[in-house]
Amino acid sequence: MRCALNYMPPRPLWPSSTILGDPLDDIDDSDALSLTQKVNAIIAISISTLSWLENVKSATDRVVRR
């Protein structure tokens, strides 16, 4: 049996909207720039990864043809 002093009520899966407010209200220019930089980094990494995969595929194709 649990001790009442140690009882923790279950936490809600999602915080209530009154606690969070509207997240778009909190975005200022510095946050938007940071988000833009993150998106640009993800795009650059994706392009780099695709280029690397194409090089690996080409090298694999050359080995298979031999």
Tell me the average pLDDT across 31-54: 89
pLDDT digits (tens, 9 = 90+) for 13-30: 665 555 555 555 555 666
Model confidence band, residue 46 (pLDDT cutoffs 50, 70, 90): very high
Do the domain assignments include residue 58?
yes
CA gap 27, 39 in Å, rounded = 16
Instruction: Tell me the percentage of the chain whose pLDDT exceeds 70.
Output: 58
> Has residue 62 got a pLDDT over 80?
yes
Do the domain assignments include residue 37?
yes
Q: Is the pTM of this model over 0.75?
A: no
Model pLDDT, residue 31: 65
Do the domain assignments include residue 57?
yes
Tell me the CA end-to-end span of the chain in Å, nearest whole number.
71
CA gap 33, 4 in Å, rounded = 48
CA gap 51, 9 in Å, rounded = 51
With H, G, I as helix, E, B as strand and everything else as coil, classify residue 66.
coil
CA gap 17, 27 in Å, rounded = 17
Do the domain assignments include residue 42?
yes
